């Protein structure tokens, strides 16, 4: 009987798919199944025809698009020239990680599942559709899905039943081993910023300004940040995004190294512990300071797999009991209350389990902590208006939970801390094509709904369109207060006076009754109906994914029902047709 060799392949813009894929590979290894874990951009897709067992873990981005590290695979797998039975020997499963607040919930996983069936693959179990919106998070779907997967694998390979699995309390070998060099220092701390992320090598760009654009009494700190892209060959258009790697704050780096008794100045190289290790992007040699500052994600809320691995090191009975509980399906509600609800960080968890933390070996750092993921921001400027400059609008994330220390967003806090007045600051960054596409035709009206920092891509679009003589522009902007967070007010008013912009505003807290952008949409139903039906206008929504996009979409549906005297079904179909033709586009973030 042929023993299975499992390929666990993942595609993700964030660390969630990598973490889940790693968890699947670890479970396979405990069952003594040979498993290889790879991002899809590191896997030779031509080998798929000879695989016998594959699990795909994938997320969805933008308007139902595959993540960057999955795009080449995506293009290959959907080639029309592929014979329909070409994967008939393959047993596989697809797990999607998504958020049901997005319109294209787990679209990539659903589409991949259908395509694999089309190519003749045998699907072991139905596609898994994990949802971050679930009370217990994605594990509410992942746990039963994995149980069903292993049941199916055992049915396919009966000989596995005779294999004694590794104990849950026995740590697996580390993916990499650290080899420390005798000489300390001599390696620049910025070495990690020379990584080669897809699709381009980041270019070091000088930070020119970092200005707060909200009133001093406003609860939220929002920054307009400008970079000098001279000599970088960076080009971008309206709707594109800029991407960068953030750094952990110095206080967290110091605390982490104290807890684990790490020497910040020590330098090391890494060696894969086995030949199926996923490619490592850490530059070598590397200093411990660079590793912790720029690579290990120590400030995020740890996932369940973190506690599973941590529990294998626990020798203190009380700590071990609690870690095992957090790792079990039955303990997920307890874990959610301890970790997810208060947004407790991995660093804080280590401090809560001092005996176990003292037992950790440095070789397991890369298994415990995922890589810091790159963050993307909508570009808020146009090269037509600001040559050799790139601007972004960043809301600094900070909020309170039951924990004493305020929660802070890693990238926004890092950006806010950069001060070009204190000396030259250089940030490596690169630009990616965005999901929002604006019409080429000069006479096509553009209607944009961008409350808060959602207005950023529309500022870029308006600067570009006005420079090109495209003056049929409508902007719905919303914020809390006209005097505290009305971003780019003078620009909008100037464009309005020149006849280049029709502006509608909604200041939700300036009167007793709250007014939002969706209310302004319904109030201007006749204008919107005319622009959309008679002039073939395009409608755009950008901003927070929670409630606003769905509320604006509902308001637009109401416009169609009211002005077109359409039924609910007909109005919904009109929205679908606009979405399919690219005349209704949405870019949201959580």
Residues 268/285, Cβ–Cβ less than 8 Å? yes
Does residue 435 carry a pLDDT above 90?
A: no
pTM given for the model: 0.87
Spatial separation of the C-alpha atoms in residues 419 and 368, rounded to whole Å: 32
Does residue 191 carry a pLDDT above 80?
A: no
Tokens 């031509």 sit at which residue? 46
Q: What is the pLDDT of residue 41?
A: 87
Residues 369/311, Cβ–Cβ less than 8 Å? no
Spatial separation of the C-alpha atoms in residues 46 and 489, rounded to whole Å: 53
Residues 206/425, Cβ–Cβ less than 8 Å? yes
Strands 267-272 and 286-287: what pairing? antiparallel
> What one-character-per-residue DSSP string does 209-233 give?
EEEE-S-TTSSS-EEEEEEE-TTS-
Mean pLDDT of 321-331: 92
**Which range has the worst mean pLDDT, 60-74, 336-350, 394-408?**
60-74
Banded pLDDT at 420 (limits 50, 70, 90): very high
Residue closest to 436 by CA, chosen among 426, 423, 450, 422: 450
Cis peptide before 285 (omega within 30 of 0): yes
Q: What is the pLDDT of residue 279?
A: 61
Spatial separation of the C-alpha atoms in residues 289 and 210, rounded to whole Å: 26
CATH code given to domain 446-588: 3.40.50.80
Tell me the average pLDDT of the chain: 90
> What one-character-per-residue DSSP string does 58-73 give?
EE-BTTTBPPGGGHHH
Strand order in the sheet with 267-272: 176-180, 267-272, 286-287
Which structure tokens are listed for 66? 């595959």
Residue 462: phi and psi, rounded to 5, are -65, -40
Q: What is the pLDDT of residue 187?
A: 46
Burial class (CB in 10 A: 0-12, 13-18, 19+), 172: middle
Mean pLDDT of 440-461: 96
Spatial separation of the C-alpha atoms in residues 436 and 587, rounded to whole Å: 7
Describe the crossing of helices 568-581 and 548-564 by its angle, rounded to 10 degrees: 120
Does residue 343 carry a pLDDT above 50?
A: yes
Does residue 211 carry a pLDDT above 80?
A: yes
pLDDT tens figures, 518-574: 999 999 999 999 999 999 999 999 998 778 999 999 999 999 999 999 999 999 999
Mean pLDDT of 4-20: 84
pLDDT tens figures, 239-264: 999 999 999 999 999 999 999 999 99
Q: How far is CA 150 from CA 31, 35, 92, 160, in A?
A: 10, 13, 12, 11
Cis peptide before 199 (omega within 30 of 0): yes
Q: What is the pLDDT of residue 175?
A: 86
**What are the residue ranges spanned by the domains of the chain?**
5-160, 203-233+375-432, 250-368, 446-588
Mean pLDDT of 356-360: 96
Banded pLDDT at 184 (limits 50, 70, 90): low
Banded pLDDT at 192 (limits 50, 70, 90): very low
Residue closest to 62 by CA, chosen among 99, 35, 7, 90: 99
Residue closest to 588 by CA, chosen among 456, 478, 481, 473: 456
Strand order in the sheet with 446-449: 502-507, 473-479, 446-449, 538-544, 584-589
Residues 159/1, Cβ–Cβ less than 8 Å? yes
Spatial separation of the C-alpha atoms in residues 319 and 332, rounded to whole Å: 17
Classify domain 250-368 by CATH architecture.
Answer: Up-down Bundle (1.20)
Q: Which CATH number fits domain 203-233+375-432: 2.40.30.10, 2.60.40.180, 3.40.50.300, 3.40.50.720?
A: 2.40.30.10
Residue closest to 95 by CA, chosen among 42, 143, 35: 143
* Same fold? 5-160, 446-588: yes
How many Cα neighbours within 13 Å face the side chain of 380? 22
Mean pLDDT of 88-105: 89
Q: What is the pLDDT of residue 272?
A: 84
Does residue 196 carry a pLDDT above 50?
A: no
CATH code given to domain 5-160: 3.40.50.360
**Coil/strand/helix, residue 395:** strand
Banded pLDDT at 275 (limits 50, 70, 90): low
Mean pLDDT of 104-130: 94
Q: What is the pLDDT of residue 183?
A: 66
Spatial separation of the C-alpha atoms in residues 476 and 465, rounded to whole Å: 17
Q: What is the pLDDT of residue 104?
A: 83
pLDDT tens figures, 385-394: 999 999 999 9
Spatial separation of the C-alpha atoms in residues 10 and 108, rounded to whole Å: 12
């Amino acid at each position: 009987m042929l023993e299975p060799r499992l390929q666990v392949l993942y595609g993700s813009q964030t660390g969630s798919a990598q973490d889940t894929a790693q968890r699947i590979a670890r479970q396979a290894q405990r069952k003594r199944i040979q498993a290889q874990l790879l991002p899809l951009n590191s896997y030779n897709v031509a080998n798929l025809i000879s695989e016998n067992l594959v699990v795909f873990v994938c997320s969805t981005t933008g308007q139902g698009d595959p993540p960057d590290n999955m795009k080449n695979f995506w293009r290959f797998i959907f080639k029309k020239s592929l014979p329909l039975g070409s994967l008939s020997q393959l047993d596989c499963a697809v797990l999607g990680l998504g958020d049901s607040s997005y319109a294209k919930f787990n679209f990539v996983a659903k589409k991949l599942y259908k395509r694999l069936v089309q190519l003749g693959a045998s699907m072991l179990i139905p596609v898994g559709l994990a949802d971050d919106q679930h009370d217990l998070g994605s594990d509410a779907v992942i746990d039963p899905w994995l149980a069903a997967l292993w049941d199916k694998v055992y049915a396919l390979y009966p000989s596995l039943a005779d294999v004694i699995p590794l104990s849950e309390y026995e740590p697996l070998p580390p993916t990499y081993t650290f080899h420390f060099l005798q000489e300390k220092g001599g390696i620049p701390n910025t070495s990690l910023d020379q990584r080669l992320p897809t699709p381009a090598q980041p270019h070091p760009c000088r930070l020119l300004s970092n200005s707060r654009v909200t009133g001093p009494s406003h609860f939220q700190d929002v920054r307009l940040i400008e970079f000098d892209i001279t000599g970088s060959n960076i080009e971008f258009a309206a709707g594109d995004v800029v991407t960068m790697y953030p750094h952990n704050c110095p206080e967290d780096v110091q605390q982490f190294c104290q807890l684990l008794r790490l020497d910040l100045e020590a330098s090391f190289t890494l060696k894969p512990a086995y030949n199926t290790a996923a490619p490592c992007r850490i530059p070598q040699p590397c200093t411990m300071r660079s590793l912790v500052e720029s690579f290990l994600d120590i400030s995020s809320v740890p996932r369940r797999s973190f506690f599973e691995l941590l529990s294998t090191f626990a020798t203190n009975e009380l700590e071990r009991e609690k870690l095992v509980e957090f790792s079990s399906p039955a303990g997920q509600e307890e874990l959610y209350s301890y970790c997810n609800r208060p947004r407790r960080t991995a660093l804080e968890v280590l401090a809560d389990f001092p005996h176990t933390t003292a037992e950790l070996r440095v070789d397991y750092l890369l298994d415990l902590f995922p890589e810091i993921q790159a963050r993307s921001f909508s570009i808020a400027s146009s090269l037509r208006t600001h040559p050799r400059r790139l601007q972004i609008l960043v809301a600094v994330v900070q909020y309170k939970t039951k924990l004493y220390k305020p929660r802070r967003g890693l990238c926004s806090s890092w950006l806010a801390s950069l001060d070009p007045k204190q000396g030259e600051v250089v940030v490596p960054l690169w630009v990616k094509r965005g999901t929002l596409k604006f019409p080429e035709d000069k006479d096509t009206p553009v209607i944009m709904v961008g409350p808060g920092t959602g207005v950023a891509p529309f500022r870029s679009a308006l600067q570009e369109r006005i420079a090109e003589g495209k003056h049929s522009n409508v902007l719905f902007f919303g914020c809390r207060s006209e005097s505290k967070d009305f971003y780019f007010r003078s620009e909008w008013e100037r464009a309005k006076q020149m006849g280049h912009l029709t502006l509608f505003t909604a200041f939700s807290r300036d009167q007793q009754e709250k007014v939002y952008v969706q209310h302004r949409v319904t109030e201007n139903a006749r204008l919107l109906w005319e622009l959309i039906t008679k002039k073939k206008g395009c409608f755009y929504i950008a901003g927070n994914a929670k409630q606003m996009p769905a509320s604006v979409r509902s308001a637009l549906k109401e416009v169609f029902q009211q002005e077109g005297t359409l039924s609910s079904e007909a109005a919904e179909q009109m929205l679908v047709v606009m979405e399919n033709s690219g005349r209704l586009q949405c870019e949201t973030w959580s």
